[in-house]
Structure 1
Amino acid sequence: MEIGRRYARLYGMSSYQDGCGIEDLPAAGTNVEALKDALPHWGFVVESTKNPVQSQIEQDLQISAGKVTGDDVFLLYLAGHAFLDEDHEDIYFATRSTYYKRDYEQYCYSLAAALRALGKIGAKLKVLVLDSCFSGAATYLPGALSAGSARSSVAILASSMRTRPSFAVPGEPLSRYTGALVDCLGTFVRSATDPVSLSMLAEALLREMRDREGDQTPEHLIRGDGALPLLKRSTPPAPPWAHNVKAAPAEAGRSRLTAPAVLTGGGRKAGSSYSSFLRSSAARGPGGAQVVPNAERSSMLDATPGAAPERGPEPPPPTTRQRPRS
């Protein structure tokens, strides 16, 4: 079956607000870097952001909904700390706009919102890859099915069961699940397998995770045609997204922040609540994440903090709710 273009949006939350009660997670940043290097060789045009605020994710997915067509493949990747709600019906991803751990429903990006956004993207195949604690909850949400349609297939590849943590192993640059994903992509390269269907990748991931030590069992859900070619070798690698815009000139050694809205002549696209942040002289992307070895294993929920990456400017403090008392 013919596929148009392949698009991927990657988000890794590795650095959080000081005093918010959430520890940094360096592996989430290196996960994004590894996938950003690997996916273009399989036909994907990639947009990646480390340590986004919640509004940026929402605006990025709105842009994707207007750009992706019914013949395309769209992949959304989220990695970082996540919190399971009391009813075990939704999980919330902590972002740079998360101020207080106890108020995760207000300050985190919910999985239900991600599924609603995915449902508005009219791709032939939509894949949501989650690397966080409790990510298997995604396969039980009603939105997991409504994210697809009669003309599209949807898959959720979750790193762990809905009541279990996901692990980032100290001393290893990647988390356990994303490391398995990157290894699977490399195995397909070495075996000259091309194209690679959605079902082939899901089965290879399960086998790879079984071969790794530790108590972490992925949960996968495929609705629709699992034989669709998710990966197809691309030489040369696919180009970057056409609407990428770099913010203020970056200093040497620092990566640049890509904008979710098009900036022209120092102005801003109408309706972009994120543009004031981008116009700030301090608008810089995060630097490379660093892993500090530790004797104890750590989970994606309670990871031992390593050397924190460079941070961009702090988002403005909340105005609608008072700071909770400790």
Structure 2
Amino acid sequence: MVNCTTPPFMFTRRAPLGAILVIGLSAALAPGQTQQPRGVTLADAVPGRRTALVIGNNGYPAMPLKNAVNDARAMAAALQKYGFAVDLATDVTFKELNKRIDRFIGQLPGGDVAMVYYAGHGVQIENENYLVPVDFNAQDEADAKYEAYSASRVVDRLAGSGARLSIVVLDACRNNPFRSSRSGTRGLAPMETGEGTLVAFATAPNRTADDNPGGVNGLFTTYLLDAMDDASLSVEQVFSRARQRVYEASNRKQVPWLVSSVIGEFHFRGAAAANDAPKPAPAPPAPSAAPRNPRVFAPGSSGMILSFIKPDKARDFEMVIGRVKDALARTQNPVRRQQAATWKVFRGVEPAVRNNVLYVFMIDPAAASAEYSETQILTEAFPSEVQALYQTYAAAFDGGQNIVTLQPLASMAGKPRFAVTPPPAAAASNARTFSSDAGLVLNFIKPDKTADFEAVVRKLQQGLAASDDLTRRAQAGGWKVFRCPDPAPNGILYVFAMDPVVKGADYTVSTMLTSFFPNEAQALWKQYAEAYTSGQNWVNLTLVADFGR
């Protein structure tokens, strides 16, 4: 439930294109945002203990909170029910906060499931998040860093503890109670995770959350506790369910945020939660096959999977992708053959965040109820090689995968009226062009402006369908528009997918509207531009593999 603050000395930084990609997609992907696969996989009954540190702070002299302690007590009770050994602390000073975190992490043996839940005020300082103790009294930036506890330090220390799974929940995203005449960005900053770590926020980066003053618990924790009690939900599904409920309950104003590097499944309520007390970890058996990572897209939808790969591991990644293609080429399974027919892999031309290489799996359309798991496909085809292949595959990741369900909105081509792509027309100096095999444009649209945006897209579709210009017709032939059904923190995600592109041709929407509808172009462009929450992300893609050929 808490209050997340940004002090008056906040400094903001621009994110590079790759970072914008990650930040823009992560919450929409329920997200969550899976990041950075690791070499071990979680099962329902994870070996090792379940331990949790739960902190709730209400008693801030300058701006007390109502529900943070209630949230912490409710979370502690739920975790105890699920088999966690819980250390509960309320209204902690800076000294006590350090003591509790040191003791908790110092007692973690390898193989544990470790969870830290914090409800209270938080501050963002130079893109770094801090947990605020009740005796916080900083007057400037320098003091604040030494009177609050870095959230990144909590995550880093958990990653170094040997815990098999680390879960950090920060219900600390209210408006800035320490605001002065020099106001800064509200909310907490985005964070990256290490291997085997999941970090959840009550709301999206740089946004504020509903304090729910009329309730016993904060809005986020209320729906999180409810989702945790569903034994059928994995940990990532729990946060996805909570995100959807909070989004609806807040009238689409609050979107909880998730960053995850977990592969496999962990359930709060499951075999391990049924035990009255944690049990020591048994010796882990040697894995006989790669872990299963089911990805099932809704009927009638398409899918997009973004993978961020270390530059020096790109060749290894593509080798494994080649083996997946081999497996699909030889299969007699009709479902696998249906999957292969519409599944392509592309490599981004531009470097992604931290100079990683972006790979995009485009699945259009998705096979209904089919499992899009590279490791499961390899297990079926190459059981004797799968362990080595999976290790090579997992070691290539640095920044993880985002899995996005896409609902088809429009195919610009309609019925194709050409067989051969004509040569591209000369592009203007300010034209938006692609120089590769395919392209993506990511558009983040205001929730209350989606109808306006879609109306302009359909108008553009009409113009392309009626055009006699061979270049425009060629562009239309490979251009589809999708909408992501899951809410994103910075708007509703719409994806323009161009496959193939017309290299060098101008894809600028305003230019097309002016050409097709000269009398309406100004009004249409105004309607289109005002629908955006922020700019577009343009990505050049090179084809790596077409699993259907």
Q: Which residue of 2 aligns with 1:198?
A: 235
Q: Which residue of 2 aligns with 1:105?
A: 145
Partner Cα separation in structure 2 for residue 212 and residue 83 of structure 1? 25
1:158 aligns to 2:194 (yes or no): no
Indicate if the aligned counterparts of 1:36 and 1:46 stay in contact, CA closer than 8 A: yes
Indicate if the aligned counterparts of 1:41 and 1:236 stay in contact, CA closer than 8 A: no
Partner Cα separation in structure 2 for residue 136 and residue 225 of structure 1? 26
Shift of 1:136: 5.3
Indicate if the aligned counterparts of 2:234 and 2:268 stay in contact, CA closer than 8 A: yes
1:39 aligns to 2:76 (yes or no): no
Partner Cα separation in structure 1 for residue 139 and residue 275 of structure 2? 43
Shift of 1:32: 0.7
Partner Cα separation in structure 1 for residue 134 and residue 236 of structure 2? 34
Shift of 1:42: 1.2
Identity %: 22
Shift of 1:176: 0.9
Indicate if the aligned counterparts of 1:41 and 1:238 stay in contact, CA closer than 8 A: no
Partner Cα separation in structure 1 for residue 150 and residue 106 of structure 2? 22
Partner Cα separation in structure 2 for residue 128 and residue 135 of structure 1? 17
**What amino acid maps onto 1:223 in structure 2?**
S
Deviations, residues 155-200 of structure 1 (Å, cap 9, x unaligned): 01111111111221112011111111112134x1xxxx25x42222
Indicate if the aligned counterparts of 2:193 and 2:260 stay in contact, CA closer than 8 A: no
From 237, 244, 247, give the equivalent of 1:210: 247
Partner Cα separation in structure 1 for residue 75 and residue 139 of structure 2? 28
Shift of 1:121: 2.1
Partner Cα separation in structure 2 for residue 101 and residue 31 of structure 1? 28
Indicate if the aligned counterparts of 1:98 and 1:107 stay in contact, CA closer than 8 A: yes
- Report the secondary structure of 1:75's partner residue: strand
- Report the secondary structure of 2:193's partner residue: helix
Q: Which residue of 1 aligns with 2:165?
A: 125
Shift of 1:238: 4.2
1:83 aligns to 2:131 (yes or no): no
Partner Cα separation in structure 2 for residue 238 and residue 12 of structure 1? 24
Indicate if the aligned counterparts of 2:72 and 2:88 stay in contact, CA closer than 8 A: yes
Partner Cα separation in structure 2 for residue 184 and residue 101 of structure 1? 39
Shift of 1:113: 2.4
- Report the secondary structure of 1:224's partner residue: coil
1:224 aligns to 2:245 (yes or no): no
- Report the secondary structure of 2:134's partner residue: coil
Which protein, 1 or 2, shows the higher relative CO under an 8 Å CA cutoff with sep ≥ 6? 1
Q: Which residue of 1 aligns with 2:318?
A: none
- Report the secondary structure of 2:86's partner residue: strand
Indicate if the aligned counterparts of 1:136 and 1:159 stay in contact, CA closer than 8 A: no
Q: Which residue of 2 aligns with 1:316?
A: none
Q: What stretches of structure 1 of length at least 5 have no aligned partner?
A: 240-326
Deviations, residues 112-144 of structure 1 (Å, cap 9, x unaligned): 22223222321110000010116652xx33xx3
Relative to structure 1, the CA distance from residue 173 to residue 101 in structure 2 (aligned partners, 3 Å threshold; closer, same or farther) is: farther
TM-score, scaled to structure 1: 0.61
Matches within 5 A, 1:1-326: 1=43, 2-3=45-46, 4-16=48-60, 18=61, 22-85=62-125, 87=126, 89-100=127-138, 102=140, 103-133=143-173, 137=189, 140-141=190-191, 144-146=192-194, 148=195, 153-186=196-229, 188=230, 193=231, 196-214=233-251, 215-232=253-270, 234-235=273-274, 237-238=276-277
Partner Cα separation in structure 2 for residue 136 and residue 222 of structure 1? 17
Deviations, residues 55-106 of structure 1 (Å, cap 9, x unaligned): 3232323323332222220000111111222x3x112222123123544223
- Report the secondary structure of 1:122's partner residue: coil
Deviations, residues 244-294 of structure 1 (Å, cap 9, x unaligned): xxxxxxxxxxxxxxxxxxxxxxxxxxxxxxxxxxxxxxxxxxxxxxxxxxx
**What amino acid maps onto 2:234 in structure 1?**
S
Shift of 1:230: 4.4
Partner Cα separation in structure 2 for residue 101 and residue 237 of structure 1? 47
Shift of 1:226: 4.5
**What amino acid maps onto 2:83 in structure 1?**
G
Q: Which residue of 2 aligns with 1:300?
A: none
**What amino acid maps onto 2:263 in structure 1?**
D
Indicate if the aligned counterparts of 2:97 and 2:133 stay in contact, CA closer than 8 A: no
Relative to structure 1, the CA distance from residue 238 to residue 208 in structure 2 (aligned partners, 3 Å threshold; closer, same or farther) is: farther
Indicate if the aligned counterparts of 1:199 and 1:226 stay in contact, CA closer than 8 A: no
Relative to structure 1, the CA distance from residue 175 to residue 96 in structure 2 (aligned partners, 3 Å threshold; closer, same or farther) is: same
Partner Cα separation in structure 2 for residue 205 and residue 76 of structure 1? 18
Shift of 1:53: 1.7
Partner Cα separation in structure 2 for residue 231 and residue 135 of structure 1? 31
**What amino acid maps onto 1:220 in structure 2?**
L
Partner Cα separation in structure 2 for residue 84 and residue 117 of structure 1? 19
Relative to structure 1, the CA distance from residue 81 to residue 7 in structure 2 (aligned partners, 3 Å threshold; closer, same or farther) is: same
**What amino acid maps onto 1:68 in structure 2?**
L
Partner Cα separation in structure 2 for residue 180 and residue 49 of structure 1? 22
Aligned-pair Cα RMSD in Å: 2.3
Relative to structure 1, the CA distance from residue 47 to residue 91 in structure 2 (aligned partners, 3 Å threshold; closer, same or farther) is: same
Relative to structure 1, the CA distance from residue 62 to residue 185 in structure 2 (aligned partners, 3 Å threshold; closer, same or farther) is: same
Indicate if the aligned counterparts of 1:184 and 1:208 stay in contact, CA closer than 8 A: no
Indicate if the aligned counterparts of 1:94 and 1:104 stay in contact, CA closer than 8 A: no
**What amino acid maps onto 2:90 in structure 1?**
K
